[in-house]
């Protein structure tokens, strides 16, 4: 008997992407599922859009956050499998059938994850840069990922209850990371299936890409300090990215020393940090080349090794500052 899947989608002011998201779910080649959209007190036209689809709508009485919305959807679900995704994600036609197959194969003691397609829903350099980066980072450790993101998280309903759901009194993001870490401590296994894919709608410009990097780095630093795993190779908070930030910092320092001292010898260590950075991130750069070609690779390498690490580094400093001053995020 096929698993009955409850697709749970939290939404807050997502009118720009909701129709695309729900249309894709209902175009699935898997037919034993229900869709639960939990509207988190939206002020836009979200509810009207949701009501045009044959899904169950749950309206929160006040804005409570994505964790509370997901938990509310899980509480009222009828499926024995929960599939969590987001209102800005577009499922592939076979996403749910692959999710059902993996859930049946791995059993209730395993949480299964999917990831983004390498090609995003919307074209553009910054969207492609981010989608490839996330895909590469999340599938790097398929058999033992550090966490599974809620853009494609598959878990048996009883298992979700045993773990205790997503944390509601938590940071604005990273609730999926905390959920997965808690699941592992309770003896559950995580596994990533790269064939389970969703296409993300980023709509990134350079400024929004950098703001996203800053925000995630800030809260990731806060959480990692508390969790004592600041240097862990954890998905998008990868060892490669952390090395990239440090290498960029030292390369800039030595370059400034060159300008200040007029001594070109300072360029040598700067150059060495750049070379080491390219070597450490060579596999990521290879994926950029495979999916975007040489011109895209050159742009991606320049962005990844100049502006992007500055945003990540500043976010990390902001997180450290908040952690040590005791300020709430």
Tens of pLDDT, residues 244-283: 999 999 999 988 888 888 888 888 989 999 999 999 999 9
β-pairing, 81-84 vs 89-91, is unpaired
Structure tokens at 292: 């975007």
* Report field, pTM of the whole predicted structure over 0.75: yes
Rounded to an integer, what distance in angstroms lies between the CA atom of residue 257 and that of residue 255? Answer: 5
Tokens of 118: 């390498």
Which of 185, 203, 221 marks a domain boundary? 203
pLDDT of residue 329: 52
Residue 328: predicted pLDDT: 55
Q: What pLDDT does 325 receive? A: 86
**Structural domains of the chain, count:** 2
Q: What is the pLDDT of residue 135?
A: 98
Of 180, 203, 226, the domain-final residue: 203
CB-CB contact of 120 with 131 (8 Å): yes
Question: Residues 59, 188: one domain?
Answer: yes
Nearest to 235 by CA among 157, 133, 311, 320: 133
Using an 8 Å Cβ cutoff, are 154 and 188 in contact?
Answer: no
Per DSSP, the residues of 114-151 read EEE-SS-SS-SHHHHHHHHHHHHHHHTTSSS-S---TT
pLDDT digits (tens, 9 = 90+) for 283-309: 999 999 999 999 999 999 999 999 999
Is there a single domain that holds both residue 115 and residue 212?
Answer: no
- What is d(CA 95, CA 97) in angstroms, rounded to the nearest whole number? 6
- Do 277 and 131 share a domain, yes or no? no
- Which of these ranges, 86-100, 227-241, 253-267, 278-292, has the smallest mean pLDDT? 253-267
Q: What is the rounded CA–CA span in Å between residue 109 and residue 156?
A: 8
DSSP strands (E only) in the chain: 5-11, 33-39, 56-59, 81-84, 89-91, 110-116, 153-156, 189-200
Answer yes or no: do 217 and 162 share one domain. Answer: no
Pair (176, 220) in one structural domain? no
Q: Do 67 and 92 form a contact (C-beta atoms < 8 A)?
A: no
- pLDDT of residue 2 exceeding 80: no
Q: What's the rounded Cα separation, in Å, for the pair 18 and 85?
A: 12
Q: Of 142, 35, 30, 146, which is closest to residue 84 (Cα–Cα)?
A: 35
- 196 and 230 assigned to the same domain: no
Shared domain check, 225 and 196: no
- Alpha helices by DSSP H, listed for 76-205, are 95-106, 125-139, 157-163, 175-185
What is the CATH classification number for the domain harbouring 128? 3.90.550.10
- Per the CB < 8 A criterion, the answer to whether 192 and 139 are in contact is yes
Task: Please check whether residues 199 and 259 belong to one and the same domain.
Answer: no
Same domain, 319 and 175: no
Last residue of a domain, one of 139, 171, 203: 203
pLDDT exceeds cutoff 80 at 142: yes
Residue 51 has which token pair?
């009501």
Residue 1 has pLDDT above 80, yes or no: no
Task: Report how far apart, in Å, the C-alpha atoms of 259 and of each of 154, 190, 262 are.
Answer: 53, 49, 5
DSSP structural state of residue 13: S
Is residue 18 within 8 Å of residue 87, measured between CB atoms? yes
| Domain enclosing residue 101, as ranges | 5-203
Handedness of CA 140, 141, 147, 153 (dihedral sign): positive
**One domain, residues 20 and 146:** yes
Q: Is 277 found in the same domain as 137?
A: no
In this structure, the answer to whether residues 165 and 215 fall within a common structural domain is no
- Please tell me the distance from the alpha carbon of residue 279 to that of residue 271, in angstroms, as a whole number: 12
């Amino acid at each position: 008997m096929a698993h009955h899947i409850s697709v749970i989608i939290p939404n807050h002011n997502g009118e720009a992407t909701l129709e695309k998201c729900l249309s894709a779910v209902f175009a699935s080649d898997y037919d034993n599922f229900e869709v639960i959209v939990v509207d988190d007190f939206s002020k836009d036209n979200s509810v009207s859009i949701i009501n045009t689809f044959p899904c169950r709508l749950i309206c929160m009485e006040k804005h409570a956050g994505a964790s509370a919305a997901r938990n509310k959807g899980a509480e009222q679900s009828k499926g024995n499998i929960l599939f969590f995704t987001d209102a800005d994600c577009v499922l592939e036609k076979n996403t749910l059938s692959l999710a059902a197959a993996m859930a049946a194969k791995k059993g209730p003691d395993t949480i299964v994850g999917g990831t983004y397609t390498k090609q995003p829903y919307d074209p553009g350099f910054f969207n492609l840069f981010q989608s490839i980066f996330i895909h590469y980072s999340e599938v790097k450790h398929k058999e033992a990922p550090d966490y599974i993101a809620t853009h494609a998280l598959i878990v048996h309903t009883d298992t979700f209850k045993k773990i205790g759901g997503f944390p509601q009194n938590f940071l604005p993001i990273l609730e999926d990371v905390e959920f997965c870490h808690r699941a592992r401590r309770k003896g559950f296994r995580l596994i990533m299936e790269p064939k389970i894919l969703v296409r993300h709608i980023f709509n990134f410009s350079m400024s929004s890409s950098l703001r996203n990097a800053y925000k995630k780095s800030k809260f990731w630093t806060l959480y990692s300090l508390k969790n004592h795993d600041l240097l862990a190779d954890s998905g998008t908070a990868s060892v490669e990215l952390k090395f990239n930030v440090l290498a960029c910092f030292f390369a800039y320092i030595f370059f400034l020393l060159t300008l200040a001292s007029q001594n070109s010898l300072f360029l040598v260590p700067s150059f060495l940090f750049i070379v080491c950075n390219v070597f450490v991130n060579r596999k990521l750069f290879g994926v950029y080349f495979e999916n975007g070609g040489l011109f895209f690779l050159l742009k991606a390498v320049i962005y990844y090794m100049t502006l992007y690490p500055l945003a990540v580094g500043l976010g990390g400093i902001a997180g450290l500052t908040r952690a040590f001053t005791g300020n709430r995020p």
